Amino acid sequence: MSRNGNFKIYLARPISGCLYSDVEQYYTELTGILEDVGYMVLSPMTGKGSLKEILKDEPFKSTGYIIPQATNNAILKRDEWMVSLADVVYVNLVGAKEKSIGCICEISFAHIIGKYIVLAMEPGNIHNHAFVNSMAGAIFPNTVDAETYLIDLIQGNM
């Protein structure tokens, strides 16, 4: 049973310290997979294309952009808005080397407004915390299991 087009999913993962090209590739590939099974995908990279030229080979930083679509407030409000539109929020924290305040905020937004949160986070992850664990609806130790579950959800697989 397919529910194509009925569910929106917001994708999150740590991006500070990552190169634009790597982040873009991750979101493009995952978006393609999830759209193919029927999700409408919402991404924190939406509207950030102009950063590609600004960053060039520099990694993302967590604050301090002056272009209107990437100011601190613009990023916060856009991501908060997209989380509010989503039915499911998928947060991939696998392999995180530093704590991602942005991802934790996205999890918190989603939790407060009652969104279903699917989390990929391996044992021993730097984000392993009682609050994070309690806000997630389902926690998977790897991305393969988490993404398989997301596909099963939209396809109605039992």
pLDDT at residue 31 in the model: 96
Residues of the chain with pLDDT below 70 are 1-5
pLDDT tens-digit profile of 93-133? 999 999 999 999 999 999 999 999 999 999 999 999 999 99
CA distances from 135 to 19, 68, 77, 108 (A): 29, 32, 21, 7
* Residue 2 counted as domain residue: no
Q: Find the largest Cα–Cα distance for the chain.
A: 47
pTM: 0.92
Buried b (16+ CB within 10 A) or exposed e, 68-89: eebeeeebeebbeebbeebebb
Nearest by Cα to 108 from 84, 78, 143, 138: 84
Number of structural domains the chain divides into:
1
* Residue 3 counted as domain residue: no
Report the CATH number at residue 67: 3.40.50.450
* Residue 74 counted as domain residue: yes
What's the domain range around 22?
A: 8-155
* Residue 73 counted as domain residue: yes
